[in-house]
Amino acid sequence: MRDFKKKCRALYDYCRYVNRVKGNLKAGLPKTDAVKDALDYAIRGNFLDGFFKVQKMEVLNMSLTEFDQELYDRNRRREGWEEGEKVGFEQGERSGIVIGKQETARNMLARNYPVTDIAEITGLPLADVEKLAVHQ
């Protein structure tokens, strides 16, 4: 460890901080207390040339916030599903759903529904229903 200290003081100080947190946790301290104690220890030892003192709150917040890979992956999958659902819906609107609306409108025209009712029920623009009526 002494060689390590000579070669890279910053990394040595950081390792001492991390080891202090780990030791505190192993001793049964709650995470917040374990980190706060290690942070105070690093400040007293002037680790990283005072970085811990200057950036105390940032170091505390970062140390208490763990990156959760499983949660990250789960959120990314959910976002992917939502995006895929949105794209699928938009494609359906441009293709099958519109065709389905037009087919419904044709069926309603064959039963003599008023074009304004057909437009309202199907959600098709009135002009489109009128075009369908002309070609019926």
User: Which spans in 27-95 are helix H?
Assistant: 31-44, 51-54, 56-64, 69-94
pLDDT-based confidence at residue 28 (cuts at 50, 70, 90):
very high
**Hunting for tokens 């075009």 — which residue is that?**
131
Residues 114 and 117: their CA atoms lie apart, in Å, by: 5
- Residue labelled with tokens 């008023």: 114
Whether pLDDT at 20 is above 70: yes
19, 47 in Cβ contact below 8 A? no
The whole model's pTM is what?
A: 0.46
pLDDT at 71 (0 to 100)? 63
Structure confidence at residue 87 as a pLDDT band (50, 70, 90): low
Higher pLDDT, 44 or 62: 44
